Amino acid sequence: DIQMTQSPSSPSASVGDRVTITCRASQSISTYLNWYQLKPGTAPNLLIYAASSLQSGVPSRFSGSGSGTDFTLTISSLQPEDFATYYCQQSYSPPHTFGQGTKLQI
């Protein structure tokens, strides 16, 4: 299985901050990397697919980059509704695997 490692795990941040979350794959996955946002009691939300493509309806303050084994999710100016947990996921080959999550908290 391809292992996905995220960092940091639970950073503190403030409204207006620029936040970067990193994800590393245990082998090259080209750009088969997606990012999701999870909030308790709500359906998870796809933010970024194929490493850098913004999903329809997602605010432009979210962006993704990377290829091979190293990827980043950037939130350019943190908004109150962005305090959530973020997961990366590889779609290079099944079993589809996720990172351990990054919980953004105030």
Partner 1 sequence: QVQLQESGPGLMKPSETLSLTCTVSGGSVSSGGYYWSWIRQPPRKGLEWIGYIYSTGSTNYNPSLKSRVTISLDTSKNQFSLKLSSVSAADTAVYYCARYRTRAVEAFDIWGQGTMVTVSS
Residues contacting partner 1: total by CB under 8 A:
24
> Does the footprint of partner 1 cover residue 11 (CB under 8 A)?
no
> Does the footprint of partner 1 cover residue 22 (CB under 8 A)?
no
The CA dihedral of 85, 91, 93, 99, to the nearest 10 degrees, is: -20
Site for partner 1 in 24-43 (CB under 8 A): 32, 34, 36, 41-43
> Does the footprint of partner 1 cover residue 100 (CB under 8 A)?
yes
Confirm if 64 and 10 have CB atoms less than 8 A apart: no
Residues in contact with partner 1, shown as a per-residue x/- string from 79 to 98 under the rule CB under 8 A = --------x-x-x--xxxxx
> Does the footprint of partner 1 cover residue 59 (CB under 8 A)?
no
The CA dihedral of 83, 12, 27, 92, to the nearest 10 degrees, is: 0
> Does the footprint of partner 1 cover residue 65 (CB under 8 A)?
no
Q: Cα 33 from chain centroid?
A: 9
> Does the footprint of partner 1 cover residue 2 (CB under 8 A)?
no
Query: What is the distance between the alpha carbons of residues 102 and 104, in angstroms, rounded to a whole number?
Result: 6
Tokens standing for residue 41: 């009691």
Residues of this chain that bind partner 1 (CB under 8 A) = 1, 32, 34, 36, 41-46, 49-50, 55, 87, 89, 91, 94-101
